[in-house]
Amino acid sequence: MMDTRDGTHDIASVRDAAATWFARVQAQALNAAQQAEFEAWRARHPSHETEYQWLVNLWSATDLLPKERLQALCEVPVKPIKRRSVLGFGLAASVLAMAGGALVWTQLQSMGNYQGSFATTAGERRTVTLPDGSAIELNSRSQLLVSFERQQRTVVLKQGEAMFNVAHDTDRPFVVLAGPGQVTVTGTRFDVRHEDGQAQVAVESGTVRVQGNEPGSRVNLTAGLGTVVNAQGQVAAIQPVNTEALTAWRKGQLVFNNASLAEVAAEVSRYRDTPLHVSTPALGQLRLTSVFKTNDTDALLSALPRILPVAIKTREDGSQEIISAK
């Protein structure tokens, strides 16, 4: 059994372990027991998955280089490296060599290129650390694409919600594209939600610029402020927002403050395998103020009939429906 334990989560040890696992996965050298050990290692600490994904993306990044350039890099003679240096670089250097020669890493870094894609399933939350030090926390049922180039860092939030903690870099703006909305920053902390064709932005710290598709449709947001870009690309007026409540999902909570039952059902559905329905528009206008756990939405269904004049019905397809209590 390969010893890849690192109780202190020292970054060098984690990278060496990630490189070892990566090499073995690429060589298809894992049996069933080793595959289970590999999956357990990835789940043991967020840094394990982050470093492993970094190597996966680096491997894929060689596609960004022209074939002729990549071949030339691989053919450049490399002076022998002393054993002490090899140990200093760790096993990650071996993986980089597999990706097209030791000079490929230098070339990719000078180009500033990086590409990656990340997604979460129902009820899952995930934190991703990018090569520039920025961190992204993905909410349930979210999907995004990351593309770093020399002049700009770009993230496309295809669906769902994410909290961004952006590393400061005035030379390379960080741009989030979410449907009709575009958010541009150099370093700050903010939340973006892309749902039903519109983008909702809330700022926790720093300053962001939000713009839509229409010319001149843009606003600057500071901490505690938010806006919405509708499906037509129009940016709404700036509004004060409760970022702590809006981003309570990061702590595994659903916070409802005088929310309509229709809004509650839509939000809860993001964390369930099957959607939660409301039987009539009138019923959907009932209001709810409460806090529930994202990983136990059944508790919300049990509590609703004790809070509001409603009942829960199970449909033939297995999904639940909120109906009027008789």
Residue 272 placed within a domain: yes
Q: What is the pLDDT of residues 124-161, one digit of tens each?
A: 999 999 988 899 999 999 999 999 988 899 999 999 99
Q: Pseudo-torsion of CA 297, 303, 305, 306, nearest 10°?
A: -170
Asked whether residue 275 falls in the same domain as residue 199, the answer is no
Asked whether residue 79 falls in the same domain as residue 30, the answer is yes
118 vs 155: CA distance, rounded Å? 11
As a whole number, the mean pLDDT across the chain is 81
Asked whether residue 125 falls in the same domain as residue 237, the answer is yes
13 vs 15: CA distance, rounded Å? 5
Asked whether residue 39 falls in the same domain as residue 137, the answer is no
* Mean of pLDDT values over 292-302: 93
11-26 and 32-44 are packed helices; what angle lies between their axes, rounded to 10 degrees? 150
Asked whether residue 61 falls in the same domain as residue 93, the answer is yes
Residue range of the domain that includes 203: 114-243
Kindly report the pTM of this predicted structure.
0.65
Asked whether residue 265 falls in the same domain as residue 223, the answer is no
Q: How many domains does the chain have?
A: 3
Q: What is the pLDDT of residues 231-266, one digit of tens each?
A: 989 999 999 999 999 999 999 999 999 999 999 999
Asked whether residue 165 falls in the same domain as residue 193, the answer is yes
Residue 312 placed within a domain: yes
Which strands, in side-by-side order, build the sheet including 310-314? 276-278, 320-324, 310-314
21 vs 42: CA distance, rounded Å? 10
Asked whether residue 234 falls in the same domain as residue 304, the answer is no
Residue 162 placed within a domain: yes
Please report the pLDDT score of residue 162 as a whole number: 96
Write out the DSSP string of 24-75. HHHTT---HHHHHHHHHHHHH-HHHHHHHHHHHHHHHHGGGS-HHHHHHHHH
CA 202, 181, 177, 193 torsion-angle sign: positive
With cut-offs at 50, 70 and 90, classify the pLDDT of residue 72: low
Asked whether residue 228 falls in the same domain as residue 256, the answer is no
Q: What is the pLDDT of residues 307-322, one digit of tens each?
A: 999 999 999 998 999 9
The rounded percent of the chain whose pLDDT value lies above 90 is: 53
Residue 2 placed within a domain: no
Please report the pLDDT score of residue 68 as a whole number: 52
SS3 state at 77: coil
Query: What does the DSSP 8-state code read for residue 207?
Result: E
Please report the pLDDT score of residue 1 as a whole number: 45
- We report the CATH number of the domain holding residue 146 as 2.60.120.1440
* Mean of pLDDT values over 64-90: 46
CA 178, 184, 186, 189 torsion-angle sign: negative
Q: Which residues contact 80 (CB under 8 A, 6 or more apart)?
A: none
Domain termination residue (choose one: 219, 243, 267): 243
- We report the CATH number of the domain holding residue 298 as 3.55.50.30
Asked whether residue 229 falls in the same domain as residue 168, the answer is yes
Domain termination residue (choose one: 217, 243, 269): 243
Q: What is the pLDDT of residues 164-198, one digit of tens each?
A: 999 988 888 999 999 999 999 977 899 999 998 89
Asked whether residue 203 falls in the same domain as residue 118, the answer is yes
Q: In the structure encoding, which two tokens stand for residue 44, read together?
A: 């043991």
Domain termination residue (choose one: 188, 219, 243): 243
The strand ranges marked E within the chain are: 114-119, 126-129, 135-138, 143-148, 153-165, 174-178, 181-185, 189-195, 198-205, 207-211, 218-222, 225-229, 239-240, 253-260, 276-278, 287-293, 310-314, 320-324
Q: In the structure encoding, which two tokens stand for residue 279, read together?
A: 């039987």
Asked whether residue 71 falls in the same domain as residue 83, the answer is yes
